[in-house]
Amino acid sequence: MRALRQFISDLVSLYQWRRPIAIITWLPWLVAVAMQSRADRIGVGIVMAAVTLFGQGLLAAYSLSLRSRMITSDDNYWTVEVDGTARGAISDAEYAAMRERAAFSVSTYLRQTVNVVGAGVTFLHWLIRNIPVILFWIALGGLLLAPEGTVVAIKTILVAAQTDPERLAVAIVQFLLPMLMSSAALGMLFLYQQFGYRNEFRAAWQDELRRRLDLFPVGEIILTRVENQQTVIADERRAYRAFLRQRRGLAEAAASAAEGAAR
């Protein structure tokens, strides 16, 4: 129950302080619902709404974690390395501020949306050009692995093309759609850079860091520092999980203290 109250509190803070971001993060829900048939829109809308609210809760908690680092005055500095060479240093508070501006800027979300759409169009163009090649290798693989079944399937397709072409077209679409969707998922997962996709949120804070330290606009940026006599790389997920654990521990301690005082 305490976790639910904390989640609702995070959501309220997002809509209170980051309302444009809260509104724009409903865009995937709108697209998903618009793509469904009328009969499926309610179910898909409910599921996507739950997913959106959960994601917004995580986003709000991430904002709080960044803000807690921004107001912390300590000697935590990151060494900025470009292609393995040290080029300067920034404090963790300044790094968190850059992350916060990148993650909660409407322009960054708009650029990411445009980039995803552009990468998707490029991938579809590539897929359309390569569908004949994909079908050829599917047929060839079928002939090598299961020749009898493949020959029967080819004969069935040829007969259906002459007797019931409309039904054949529907069957082909039903067969190709999962294949195209899986190909799209695999292509964007492993070959996304070839289609022009880039993480605009990462690019935003790195561009600000380059301007801050007057770095060249090219080169891989890595932030490192020494902890317990070991060199560690900046890991936002680790810092975020540490913030959640710390907040949960403080909440449990406060609840225990309240129970003790009540007794």
In this structure, are residues 72 and 92 in contact, taking their beta carbons and an 8 Å threshold? yes
Mean pLDDT (whole number) for 129-150: 73
Choose the most confident range, by mean pLDDT, from 81-95, 162-176, 249-263: 81-95
SS3 state of residue 188 = helix
| pLDDT above 70 (res 51) | yes
Which runs of E-coded beta strand occur in 202-258? 221-227, 230-233
Burial of 207 (0-12, 13-18, 19+ CB in 10 A): middle
Q: What is the pLDDT of residues 154-198, one digit of tens each?
A: 676 666 666 777 766 666 666 666 666 666 666 666 666 677 788
Mean pLDDT (whole number) for 201-219: 92
Task: Return the higher-pLDDT residue of 203 and 127.
Answer: 203
Name the strands in the sheet holding 221-227, side by side, starting at the edge strand that comes first in the sequence.
Answer: 85-91, 77-82, 221-227, 230-233
Task: Return the higher-pLDDT residue of 219 and 146.
Answer: 219
pLDDT at position 144 is 75
| pLDDT above 90 (res 128) | no
Cα 3 to Cα 251: distance, rounded to the nearest angstrom: 9
In this structure, are residues 66 and 107 in contact, taking their beta carbons and an 8 Å threshold? no
| pLDDT above 70 (res 121) | yes
Under DSSP, the state recorded for 185 is: H
Q: What are phi and psi of 232, to 5 degrees?
A: -120, 155
Mean pLDDT (whole number) for 79-92: 92
Work out the pLDDT band at 259, boundaries 50, 70, 90: low
Q: Which of 111, 97, 103, 96 shows the shortest CA–CA distance to 21?
A: 103
Mean pLDDT (whole number) for 51-78: 89
Cα 167 to Cα 163: distance, rounded to the nearest angstrom: 9
Work out the pLDDT band at 262, boundaries 50, 70, 90: low
Cα 227 to Cα 214: distance, rounded to the nearest angstrom: 27
Amino acid at 12: V
Cα 94 to Cα 102: distance, rounded to the nearest angstrom: 12
pLDDT at position 226 is 87
Distances (CA, A) of 161 to 167, 171, 172, 232: 9, 11, 11, 62
Q: What is the pLDDT of residues 135-145, one digit of tens each?
A: 777 777 777 77
Query: What percent of the chain shows pLDDT beyond 90?
Result: 37
Mean pLDDT (whole number) for 29-33: 88
Q: What are phi and psi of 159, to 5 degrees?
A: -65, -45
| pLDDT above 60 (res 258) | no
User: Under 8 Å CB-to-CB from 74, ≥6 apart: which residues?
Assistant: 92
Length of the chain measured in residues: 263
Work out the pLDDT band at 89, boundaries 50, 70, 90: very high
pTM: 0.76
pLDDT at position 136 is 73
| pLDDT above 80 (res 205) | yes
Beta bridge partners of 133: none
pLDDT at position 105 is 93
Work out the pLDDT band at 38, boundaries 50, 70, 90: confident
Cα 245 to Cα 90: distance, rounded to the nearest angstrom: 26
| pLDDT above 90 (res 152) | no
The mean pLDDT value of the chain amounts to 82
Amino acid at 25: T
